[in-house]
Amino acid sequence: MTYIFVMDKPLLDQAALQDFNRLVSARRSVRSFEPGQPIPKEALKKIADAGRWAPSGANSQPWEICVVEESQRVRDVASLMANQADRLNEHCKGFPHVHKKHWVHDSVALMVVFVDARWADTYPTAFEPELDATEYQENRWNILLVSVGAAIQNIQLATTAAGLSSAWLSGGGEPQTAQDLRELLGFPSTHTPYGIVPIGWPRRRAESRWRRPIEEVIHWNEATTDNLRSREDIDHYIEKERRHSIYKDAQSRDRHLSETTPVDGEIDLVDDGS
Ligand SMILES: Cc1cc2nc3c(=O)[nH]c(=O)nc-3n(C[C@H](O)[C@H](O)[C@H](O)COP(=O)(O)O)c2cc1C
């Protein structure tokens, strides 16, 4: 990081900001990898190191980053995640899924971010148990999860910077999969794998994915209520848009949404890969 000073005053580094935004928007959850050459351990270590530098509540760093790179181990984790996806498909109505489960098998490595939730005890706790329950307890959980998200995000950004692609899988947090992963990777019951980042070589250029317009997301200095989304918007998203918004690129999402409305309850079996 270099700082530019003019007359002893720091100056905005517009070029660096633009480069950073380019990197951030190039990050995609890609669910298809080109089987390729291994990634040197040193590079994997640097990617994990980006996770290590994430901010965390009370600097608690509640994560352990398990880098899975031995090919048999990668296959074992991939099989576990395929089982998780099958269960999700069976149990969760209306959630689109990637039906070609083999794509995780093409990962060159996976980073499994285990979290020791006991570290939430290091966040603000009131003397009075009643006050703690109403005011602080839930927020300790928020702080923990948000911290972990920052670490996973850093890992994904580092993979993008290295010209690799990655995805973000949260199914490891489901009790059955969490237990399976603990047993496979040797972690105790105090630790839960809240994020799994399969890493691989891009099969093709990552497509753009739909984002809400910046004018809708930004609220300068105060809420502009006509820009806040309503309960109806959420229900509409679940019912009509979600299936097109997770795995498809922005253009095909728009195309699908402008076409005839799918039969209610109908689920796309989507595969954003090949
Ligand atoms: C907390 C979190 C959990 C996610 N869980 C999954 C998951 O289990 N499986 C999956 O395929 N993608 C998962 N994703 C990826 C999102 O679907 C993806 O980020 C979103 O559709 C936007 O696409 P993009 O990452 O390509 O920009 C998750 C992302 C986040 C932040």
For ligand 1, what atom is nearest to the CA of residue 206? 26
DSSP one-letter code for 169:
B
pLDDT number for residue 97: 64
Q: Which residues on neighbouring strands pair with residue 111, listed in sequence order?
A: 67, 197
Best of 29, 212, 238, 247 to mutate for ligand 1, by most ligand atoms within 8 A of CB?
29
User: What's residue 260's pLDDT?
Assistant: 55
Query: Residue with the nearest Cα to atom 20 of ligand 1?
Result: 246
| pTM (2 d.p.) | 0.91
Name the residue with the closest Cα to ligand 1, atom 9: 169
Helix (H) / strand (E) element for 231: namely helix 231-236
138 Cα–ligand 1 center, Å: 24
Tens digit of pLDDT at every position of the chain (274 positions): 777 777 778 889 999 999 999 999 999 988 888 887 899 999 999 999 999 999 999 999 999 999 999 999 999 999 999 999 889 888 987 776 655 557 898 999 999 999 999 999 999 999 999 999 999 999 999 999 999 999 999 999 999 999 999 999 999 999 999 999 999 999 999 999 999 999 999 887 777 889 999 999 999 999 988 889 999 999 999 998 988 888 778 888 888 888 755 544 444 444 444 3
Ligand 1 pocket, residues with Cβ under 6 angstroms = 28-29, 31, 167-171, 209, 246
List, by residue range, all CATH 3.40.109.10 domains of the chain: 28-206
Task: Kindly report the CATH number that applies to the domain delimited by 28-206.
Answer: 3.40.109.10
Q: What is the pLDDT at residue 7?
A: 76
Atom 1 of ligand 1 has which residue's CA nearest to it? 170
26: CB partners within 8 A, 6+ apart: 160, 206
pLDDT at site 100: 56
> What pLDDT sits at residue 98?
58
Any idea which residue has 């517009």 for tokens? Answer: 14
Q: Rounded to 5 degrees, what angle do the CA atoms 80, 37, 209 make?
A: 65
Say what the pLDDT of residue 225 is: 80
Query: Which is the closest atom of ligand 1 to the Cα of 153?
Result: 31
Angstrom distance (rounded) from CA 76 to CA 68? 10
Closest CA to 76 of 202, 183, 226: 183
